[in-house]
Structure formats: structure tokens, C-alpha cells
Amino acid sequence: MKKFGLSKRERIKSKKEFEAVYSEGKVIFTESRKFKANYLIIKNSEQPYVKVAFAVSKKAGNAVWRNRIKRLMREAYRLNKHFLLEEATEKKARVLTVFSPSGVNKKKFKKIYLKDVQPEIISLMGKIKDQLK
């Protein structure tokens, strides 16, 4: 597995996994309430891993804006995933996470950049990492 890659094995793809995260998982928000993460931690797993997905509501903006915010969230996660991956491997846990914007939409943020998204995603990852301990 590449250190800074994001392969298909690292993404939540199945409906079953999405339903598990949304029904059994917990929700956390950043301090600014701009982003949220739904996550599910399964402890004492033989194969520890971290899987992620990025979801944006249609109400947030048009397709171009939604795809941009997803790309930015994916990039922010990809560059910093090793923090969460190391902790999950150490604790032998499976972590399923869905990141999504909560207070961010096209009306409020016509242009959005990686420098706006990255600290928020890192904050959410830190909160999830704390739950693994």
C-alpha cells in the first residue's frame, strides 16, 4: 500500500458498509461545524484497516462545486492518512469513515481551497484517533 495513495481497497464502496456507518456509527463535527464525519470503529479485528468515503449533498451546490469539495477532502485525507492508519494498525481496529461538509456550501464559499479544508479534515481525523485509544 502506498504511503500517500488512496486505492480502491481503502475506500468504502459497498452499500452494506455505508449502511453500517450511518446506522451503527457515531457523528463528530469540527469546532467550526463546517465538516462532519460519520465513523464506525470495530475493535479486535484480525485485519485492521481504515476505509473512507466522501459525500456531499446535492443541496450544497452544483456538480462542479460538489466534485471540487470532494477532491479537496480526498486530498486532505490522503496527505494525512498515516496518522489514523498507524493508530488503527496498532490497536487492531477497523475504521470506516464518511467525511462530508456540514456548514459549507456554494452560497457561503464560492471558491474553496485546500488550505480551507485540510485543517478541518485533520481535526476530524484527530478526534477519530482519540476514540481508538
pLDDT digits (tens, 9 = 90+) for 70-90: 999 999 999 998 888 888 888
The pLDDT score that the predictor gives to residue 101 is 93
User: How many whole angstroms separate alpha carbon 86 and alpha carbon 101?
Assistant: 25
Local confidence band at 67 (pLDDT 50, 70, 90 cut-offs):
very high
Mean pLDDT across the stretch 108-127?
91
Mean pLDDT across the stretch 88-102?
91
What's the whole-model pTM score? 0.90
The answer to whether residue 4 scores a pLDDT higher than 80 is: no
Eight-state DSSP code of residue 55 = -
Domains of the chain listed by start with CATH number:
8-132 (3.30.230.10)
